[in-house]
Amino acid sequence: MRVLEFETKALLRSRGLSLPRGDVVISGPEALATARALGGPVVLKAQVPTGRRMKAGGVLFAATPEESSNLAESLLGRSINGFLVDRILVEERIAAEQEVFLAASYDRTNKRATLIASAAGGINVELAERVIRREFSTRYSPPDYLGREVAADLGLQGQGVNELGDVILDVARYFSNWDALLLELNPIVKDPKGHWWVADAHLELDDDAAFRQAELWRQVPRSTEWAQRRSKIERLAREIDDKDHRGVAGRMIAFDGDLGLLVGGGGASLTIMDSMLDAGLKPANYCEIGGNPSVWKVKELTKLVLGLPRVRKIAVIMNVVSNTRVDLVARGVIKGVLESGREPREVIAAFRIPGSWEAEGQAILRHYNVPSFGRETSIDQVVDAIRCQF
Amino acid sequence: MSILVNSETRVLVQGITGREAADFTRESIRYGTRVVAGVTPGKGGSVVHGVPVYDSVRAAMRDSPCTATVISVPAPFAHDAAEEALANGLRLVVVLTERIPRKDVVSILETAQTVGATVIGPNTLGVISPGQARVGMCGGAADSIRIAYTSGHVGVMSRSGGMMTEIASLLTHSGIGQSTCVSIGGDAVVGSTFLDLLPKFEADEETQALVLFCEPGGSMEERLAEHLVRHKTRLPIFAFVAGRFTDRNQGLRFGHAAVIVEGTSGSPRGKIGALTRAGVTVAEKLSQIPHLVKTGLANRS
């Protein structure tokens, strides 16, 4: 889960790190009041769960409170990378003598937690020439010297090594303690007095560790709410999945094409989508099925997909499966089509599931004159057969 | 013969009393795999499909020494189960469990590296050396495995467990058998990458070619390609890269760290380019794989 900036900063502040003063606002007048209270120039930052806000116009600078009010009005209700802005963080601007980039993440190649630091902070850090990488173990609490060494690697000396070293150590510590996948402070800025401030912070938490981080997750309620927002069609698919424990009705995503899909998940769905788009077909949705779903579950999903506005036909395609009963899926699809008041042979463009009870499944499909395929027909060949019908 | 597992492999199943584990244990045995012990703390003394169950790995190893373990326990317990296996001498650990916290996965891999063990997964469907042993649950029931997989000379490594069986089935249908097929696992961090396993396939004289199923994300394909540019391999390699459609609507990345850590790698287009430049034959369609493999092998001999 991606944690919103203001909630990430609240977490860091409560752990003793130095952050700019600021507040979250939801209107122009609130922005005005906050900017007045802060005094001096401020920065306005859209609180949406996406990176690259600066490049997308989600970060604005105001010299006066009145300007901050106007900018807030213009930013609220806008879409940043597809997310509607409903909250803005208004913060004081810290005069920066130096900017540093610092992050902790897991390196997939070395398979280790890794600190990444650069003396060139800011949005162009990806281009920085000298990037410091330092592996550390999340099995133990990171040692104090880790922070000092990385600070020294950044070119600091004397008191600066201790001060920035503490921040670096905190990043390693909280990255580990919070079961984070990414904790990125960019930039950390040094003010003219030599004090280090966290000007921006990104945090991504490991969903798979939520079971043991309940207290932390409770501290970021707005981020949790964003993460759980779903479209209506996603909610309906989830309801079907929840009502019957047999099989998986995985993620449902609606697109705007005319070919409805029930497909195997993971690598199979990637392969199927590639073939579809290569063939010029336009998927109306993405809907994974897996495991051994019941007739009822497949029937309901079929009806849901057929109910999408532009759907003309549907395709049911899986890879060679190990435990899906083909006959049950076939019956579910046929029933779903019939209950939608449609004709199976007109609506089902292709059915391809090589698995157990395949002959029984094929017999059902043949009875309704539905084009069905076995393992001898590869996924891309099935898609070619569908293309001929569009 | 094969890599990682063969007809001599003595398999332990951790979490054997779970419904899914009991099912794949039964089918693995029917397929000919030597499943010799199971562990579920608290269920010691029971028997699952003829396999004795112990409360601990230590007790299992005393009674029936094993050379490989399959971990199929709930995610919160997977870290401990893997550490227990490694502490008791297991040197091949196949982790089927999905959704293990990343921190736990990395911790397991640190221990495994220290003791010199091989970890496959997590989130893998397992490893199969057709005709010899199936360690995990790839291919499903014994009868289904026999239809999809046949023994032969092509090694398969797949980032998708399901598509591994699809590829094996394609090869089998064209009369091409497999030496060993490895579902390397779907997580961001996995114990054994393409590059980690390549030397094992190179050392296996039965293996004459490799087929890879690649997916977007990470840099496993790029790292393999970098290696192949510097080191010649005796094995012709054929790959299919799924998820090209994700190049068209790039998901927005979060933060800069991923870009710095992974470089610009991750996109299917980038992977196809890197593999091609390294001499790997990249199939445009999955169905071309058998023909490409046949042609490639014929040209060499």
Q: Which of B162, B173, B219 lies closest to A375 in CB terms?
A: B173
What's the mean pLDDT in A62-89? 93
Q: What would the pLDDT profile of A166-222 be if each residue is shown by its tens digit?
A: 999 999 999 999 999 999 998 999 999 989 999 999 999 999 999 999 999 999 999
Side chain identity, residue A83: F
Taking CB atoms within 8 Å and a gap of at least 24, the contacts of A203-206 are A203/A2, A203/A3, A203/A8, A203/A11, A203/A178, A204/A1, A204/A2, A204/A3, A204/A180, A204/B254, A204/B255, A205/A1, A205/A3, A205/A178, A205/A179, A205/A180, A205/A181, A206/A179, A206/A180, A206/A181, A206/B101, A206/B102, A206/B103
Q: What would the pLDDT profile of B160-181 be if each residue is shown by its tens digit?
A: 999 999 999 999 999 999 999 9
Residue A363 has pLDDT above 80, yes or no: yes
- For B87, phi then psi, to 5°, come to -70, -25
In the block, which residue shows the tokens 């099995």?
A139
The percent helix, strand, coil of chain B (3-state, each to 5) is 40, 20, 40
Q: Which of B147, B173, B255 lies closest to A184 in CB terms?
A: B255
Cβ density class A255-294: b for 16+ within 10 Å, e for less: eebbbbbbbbbbbbbbbbbbbbbbeebebbbbbbbbbbbb
Architecture of domain A21-92: 2-Layer Sandwich (3.30)
What's the mean pLDDT in A372-376? 92
Cβ pairs bridging A and B (under 8 Å): 179
Residue B264 has pLDDT above 60, yes or no: no
Would you call A103 and B260 a contact, using CB atoms and an 8 Å cutoff? yes
Q: How do strand A131-136 and strand A112-118 relate by DSSP bridges? A: antiparallel
Query: Which has the minimum average pLDDT: A116-130, A225-239, B113-127, B131-145?
Result: A116-130
- For A210, phi then psi, to 5°, come to -55, -30
The whole model's pTM is what?
A: 0.92
B128 contacts chain A (CB < 8 A): no
Listed residue (A223, A150, A158) closest to A188, CA to CA = A150
In the block, which residue shows the tokens 């034959």?
B281
Q: Least CA distance to B266: which residue of chain A?
A: A108
CATH 3.30.470.20 domain range(s) in chain A: 98-228
**Taking CA A43 as the corner, what is the angle to CA A42 and CA A44, rounded to the nearest 5 degrees?**
120
Residue B251 has pLDDT above 50, yes or no: no
Q: What would the pLDDT profile of B137-146 be if each residue is shown by its tens digit?
A: 999 999 999 9
CATH number given to A232-387: 3.40.50.261
Q: Least CA distance to A182: which residue of chain B?
A: B257
Element (H, E) at B129: strand B126-129
The verdict on whether B256 is a catalytic residue reads yes
pLDDT at residue A122 in the model:
62
In the block, which residue shows the tokens 């993460």?
A227
Percent of chain B with pLDDT over 70: 94
pLDDT at residue A121 in the model:
63
Q: Cα separations (Å) of B14 from A223, B18, B20, B89, B239? A: 37, 9, 12, 14, 33
Neighbours of B262 (CB within 10 A): 18
CATH 3.30.1490.20 domain range(s) in chain A: 21-92
CATH superfamily for A98-228 is ATP-grasp fold, B domain (3.30.470.20)
Q: Give the best residue of A54, A108, A173 to mutate against chain B (max B CB count within 10 A).
A: A108
Q: Cα separations (Å) of A223 from A25, A26, A59, B248? A: 16, 16, 19, 28
- For B183, phi then psi, to 5°, come to -85, 110
CATH 3.40.50.261 domain range(s) in chain A: 232-387
Question: Which pair of structure tokens corresponds to residue A329?
Answer: 């899926």
pLDDT band for position B301 (cuts 50, 70, 90): low
Which ipTM value was assigned to this complex?
Answer: 0.91
3-class DSSP assignment, residue B1:
coil
3-class DSSP assignment, residue A115:
strand
| Residues 6 or more apart whose Cβ sits within 8 Å of residue B230 | none
pLDDT band for position B238 (cuts 50, 70, 90): very high
Residue B255 has pLDDT above 70, yes or no: no
Would you call A126 and B259 a contact, using CB atoms and an 8 Å cutoff? yes
